[in-house]
Amino acid sequence: MGGYDQGLMLLERLDLRAVAVADLAGALPPPVWDELVPTEAVAAIVEEVRHGGDAALRSLTARFDGVEIDAIRVPVAAVSAALSAVPLELREALELAYARVTEYHRHQRAEDAAVTVDGVVVHHLVRPVRRAGLYAPGGRAQYPSSVVMCAAPARVAGVEELALCVPPRADGTVAPATLAAAAVCGIDEVYRIGGAQAVAAMAFGTESIRAVDVVVGPGNRYVAEAKRQLAGRVGTPSAFAGPSEVVVVADGSVPPAWAAVDVLVQAEHGPDGLAWLVTWDEGVADAVAAEVERLVEASPRRQDLQATLGRNGCAILVADAEAAMAVANIVAPEHLELLVADPAGLLPQVRSAGAVFLGPYAPASVGDYVAGPNHVLPTARTARFSSALRVDDFCTHIHAVEVDRQALGALGPAVVTLAEAEGLPAHAASVTVRLDAEPAGSSAGGTGRARTAER
């Protein structure tokens, strides 16, 4: 996909109506993500923060954000004051979003359980991490909604401490709307640090920022790549939450302007994202493309829209609805909109998508704010194997095994056989030494529990 040219339509046309479903993957534009991943640059930032701590954070903030900062943490009083300073309707909207997102995520919470089979009791223990690091993007826009989306499942999981990193504005402050969201969500600490350096700071810890157990949240390609590089040092969801994406499947059952604005919704986040229209109706492709031109021309975020569409904006013509869904599954988009007469009929064909929005009155923006499910979603085709941010991303699962003598007698021989096959005699002996001994409690050598019972 080439760069933006005033003489070209913003949505590059690709006619695949003659291509068989099995051959669509090879006919689609290749992912642009691999060529954009700043692997070496992020690795250098991570190492700078690892060894330089707070001094590195200040230097990197001056370099990338153009801001000289002293105190890295935003004072607690400033966070509280922001909630009173923002317009009432914004505060109420944040509180509504937090309540709805929290309620949805309560249904994901797993409880301790135990399963008993033939004398073997396996306890399933669910434990929240103690400290989570949240990231909310900044720079081109403010994203209080990302604060809500990260904090709500963490609180439902039972995380004790939440630390939030946000890029500073040009004057060195954090946007009041973002601070107000932090107050609504009960964020414990807010730091005015962004980019890959923020992820590294939360992973390693610095003089000002204590290390966390997991790092979550959407961000640009530097943020997403930093999380990928630091996975293992700190917990990170498998989803690659990078620049935003949308695939709109349309059949002409909704006005072209509706489909066009939905193509642009995610594109206005800025460059490196993806904005595709997929249809089997040439008239729809023409009408939506024309509406996209009109909307972009009038948008105050025209440059961001042009940057995204010029690199990865496309109107794809396919043979039928089956082919359209095949394209969607290949792309595995962050957002998939089904603007068709029977969206529920196509839903069973969805295999890979971060979130799906059905019908004319469910634009992806509803999911971005108040629908309830999380808007921190997989991008860069990672929806093939990962999901939206969930309560489980803030939890560990521990199993505890309890075995009685009778069960060990029944299962032990298999343990011995397998251990001997692997050449691990101590593994085998750990079973045979128990089976060869007198049952616990049958003599003075019994367990403390048995002796207590006898008394």
Q: What is the pLDDT of residue 37?
A: 81
Q: Single out the residue in 181, 207, 239 at which a domain terminates.
A: 239
Q: Burial-class residue 26 by CB neighbours within 10 Å (0-12, 13-18, 19+).
A: exposed
**Does residue 392 fall inside a structural domain?**
no
Q: Are residues 231 and 255 in the same domain?
A: no
Which residues constitute the domain of residue 425?
A: 404-454
Determine which helix (DSSP H) or strand (DSSP E) holds 292, and give its type and residue range: helix 282-298
For residue 445, the domain's CATH number is 1.20.5
For residue 21, the domain's CATH number is 3.40.50.1980
**Does residue 137 fall inside a structural domain?**
yes
3-state secondary structure of 111: coil
Half-sphere exposure of 4 (CA within 13 A, CB side): 16
Q: Single out the residue in 217, 239, 261 at which a domain terminates.
A: 239
Residues (pLDDT < 70) of the chain are 1-9, 33-35, 139-140, 270, 440-455
Q: Are residues 232 and 97 in the same domain?
A: yes
Q: Give yes or no for a contact between 355 and 384, defined as CB atoms under 8 angstroms apart.
A: no
- CA-nearest of 83, 93, 84 to 179 is 83
Q: Are residues 279 and 223 in the same domain?
A: no
Q: Are residues 278 and 150 in the same domain?
A: no
Phi, psi of 308 (to 5 degrees): -70, -50
Q: Are residues 359 and 409 in the same domain?
A: no
Considering its fold, how many domains does the chain have in total? 3
**Does residue 389 fall inside a structural domain?**
no
C-alpha 246/C-alpha 260 separation (Å) is 11
Q: Are residues 273 and 361 in the same domain?
A: yes
**Does residue 395 fall inside a structural domain?**
no
The percent helix, strand, coil of the chain (3-state, each to 5) is 50, 15, 35
Q: Are residues 64 and 114 in the same domain?
A: yes
Q: Give yes or no for a contact between 377 and 352, defined as CB atoms under 8 angstroms apart.
A: no
Q: Are residues 78 and 219 in the same domain?
A: yes
Q: Which region holds residue 378: left if phi is over 0, alpha if psi is between -120 and 50, else beta?
A: beta
Active-site amino acid positions: 334-335
Q: What is the pLDDT of residue 269?
A: 78
Q: Single out the residue in 170, 205, 239 at which a domain terminates.
A: 239
Q: Give yes or no for a contact between 240 and 378, defined as CB atoms under 8 angstroms apart.
A: yes
**Does residue 2 fall inside a structural domain?**
no
Q: What is the pTM of this model?
A: 0.89
CA distances from 304 to 148, 161, 271, 298, 368 (A): 24, 35, 6, 13, 19
Q: What is the pLDDT of residue 444?
A: 42
C-alpha 364/C-alpha 268 separation (Å) is 13
E-strand stretches of 300-403: 313-317, 335-339, 355-358, 395-403
DSSP label at 123?
A: E
Q: Are residues 87 and 211 in the same domain?
A: yes
**Does residue 278 fall inside a structural domain?**
yes
Identity of the residue numbered 204: F
Q: What is the pLDDT of residue 401?
A: 97
Q: Are residues 178 and 119 in the same domain?
A: yes
Phi, psi of 191 (to 5 degrees): -125, 135
List strands edge to edge, sheet with 120-128.
113-117, 120-128, 395-403
Identity of the residue numbered 156: V
Q: What is the pLDDT of residue 264?
A: 93
Q: Are residues 193 and 178 in the same domain?
A: yes
Determine which helix (DSSP H) or strand (DSSP E) holds 275, and give its type and residue range: strand 274-279
Q: Are residues 213 and 263 in the same domain?
A: no
Determine which helix (DSSP H) or strand (DSSP E) holds 117, and give its type and residue range: strand 113-117
Contacts of 345 (CB under 8 A, 6+ apart): none
Half-sphere exposure of 315 (CA within 13 A, CB side): 26
Q: What is the pLDDT of residue 307?
A: 84
CA distances from 162 to 19, 159, 255, 380 (A): 50, 7, 43, 27
Helix and strand element counts for the chain (H, E): 18, 14
Identity of the residue numbered 367: G
Name 10's bridge partners: none
**Does residue 93 fall inside a structural domain?**
yes
- CA-nearest of 316, 309, 318 to 8 is 309
**Does residue 391 fall inside a structural domain?**
no
